[in-house]
Amino acid sequence: MNMPLWFSLWSFPEPYSGNEPAFLDEAEIKCASAFTSHKEAIRTEVLTYLQSHKTIPYFKNSMVHQGKGYHTRSLAWWGIQFRKNQSELPNLTSILNKNPEILSLSINILDANSSILPHMGDTNAIYRGHFGISIPASLPLVGIRVQEKEQSWQEGKFNWFLDAYTHQTWNHSSEARVVLLVDVLRPEFKNQKKRICATVMTSLFLQKRIEKYSLFKRNQRWIVTYLAPLLIPLVEFRIAWINFIRKY
């Protein structure tokens, strides 16, 4: 079921209109078993790490409907390697190094009594997985909705979905929800990995400015149309340079 490559950068605010299923079976994701077969070691590693490390609030505050919010700690993010974080999470880093199709890997926390508003992902080039680390409750209190379908998270298991579709998450319990976010490049797009990462990073760069500056917000479509094509090759080079000099 091959679909054309799609980016929200060029389509926003129009949603993705593919015909793939909202959720995927874990068996369809090659690297999933590397996590599930070491679930106890990974869970212990992540929870121990969080005892002594702060996470970083996600830049898009407008996505969080209520509560303290949504915050993360990355090991990889659209091809950028965060080696300082990787050095303290050896089990996860080993999986990351053995599976080059993983573009992003991060620890994601949704605080108690918080929810993330419906939003669409940046591209259909990836499948996104949420691997349960600490899940305080199941539906209807805590869950994820993709299109019109809902699922609960479970500790030590994945929920795989097409991030391009409109989706939302919520945690109406009294404890934080902790998952690993894993973005896996779809096999049909494997030869376009660098372009995909650079395009999404360009999109995120512009989203941050649109979120922060009224000038960018007022001229969003003009900026995307004329500036983004110039930025993408520069961002591709910057990703390679950051990894080469081991900046993070």
Which of 152, 172, 189 is the last residue in one of the domains? 189
State the average pLDDT over residues 232-242: 96
Which of 173, 189, 205 is the last residue in one of the domains? 189
Q: What's the confidence (pLDDT) of residue 181?
A: 98
Q: Are residues 118 and 22 in the same domain?
A: yes
Q: Are residues 123 and 226 in the same domain?
A: no
Q: Is residue 100 part of a domain?
A: yes
Q: Are residues 135 and 213 in the same domain?
A: no
Q: What's the confidence (pLDDT) of residue 66?
A: 60
Q: Are residues 171 and 68 in the same domain?
A: yes
Residue with the larger pLDDT of the pair 134 and 207 = 134
Q: Is residue 7 part of a domain?
A: no
Q: What's the confidence (pLDDT) of residue 222?
A: 84
Q: Are residues 102 and 127 in the same domain?
A: yes
Cis peptide before 140 (omega within 30 of 0): yes
Q: Is residue 5 part of a domain?
A: no
Q: What is the mean pLDDT of the chain?
A: 92
Residue with the larger pLDDT of the pair 30 and 61 = 30
Q: List the domain range (segments joined by +) for residue 239.
A: 191-245
Q: Are residues 34 and 122 in the same domain?
A: yes
Q: Is residue 3 part of a domain?
A: no
Q: Are residues 180 and 196 in the same domain?
A: no
Q: What's the confidence (pLDDT) of residue 68?
A: 63
Cα torsion for 122, 45, 80, 16, to the nearest 10°? -10
For the segment 60-102, what is each residue's pLDDT rounded down to a tens digit?
666 666 656 889 999 999 999 999 999 999 999 999 999 999 9
Q: Is residue 4 part of a domain?
A: no
pLDDT band at 220 (very low <50, low <70, confident <90, very high): confident
Task: Supply the pTM of this predicted model.
Answer: 0.93
CATH value at residue 108: 2.60.120.330
Q: Are residues 195 and 225 in the same domain?
A: yes
Q: What's the confidence (pLDDT) of residue 61?
A: 65
φ and ψ at residue 116, rounded to 5 degrees: -110, 130
Q: Is residue 118 part of a domain?
A: yes
Q: Is residue 105 part of a domain?
A: yes
For the segment 150-203, what is each residue's pLDDT rounded down to a tens digit?
999 999 999 999 999 999 999 999 999 999 999 999 999 999 999 999 999 999
Q: What's the confidence (pLDDT) of residue 192?
A: 96
Q: What's the confidence (pLDDT) of residue 1?
A: 59
pLDDT-above-70 percentage for the chain: 96
Q: Is residue 2 part of a domain?
A: no
Q: Are residues 150 and 235 in the same domain?
A: no
pLDDT band at 215 (very low <50, low <70, confident <90, very high): confident
Which of 163, 189, 215 is the last residue in one of the domains? 189
Q: Are residues 207 and 182 in the same domain?
A: no
Q: Are residues 206 and 108 in the same domain?
A: no
Q: Where are the beta strands (DSSP E) in 62-212?
A: 64-66, 70-77, 80-81, 102-110, 114-119, 126-134, 142-146, 149-151, 158-161, 167-171, 177-185
Query: Would you list the DSSP string of 195-218?
Result: HHHHHHHHHHHHHHHHHH-HHHHH
- Please count the structural domains in the chain: 2
Q: Are residues 38 and 150 in the same domain?
A: yes
Q: Quick one: tokens of 122?
A: 């940046």
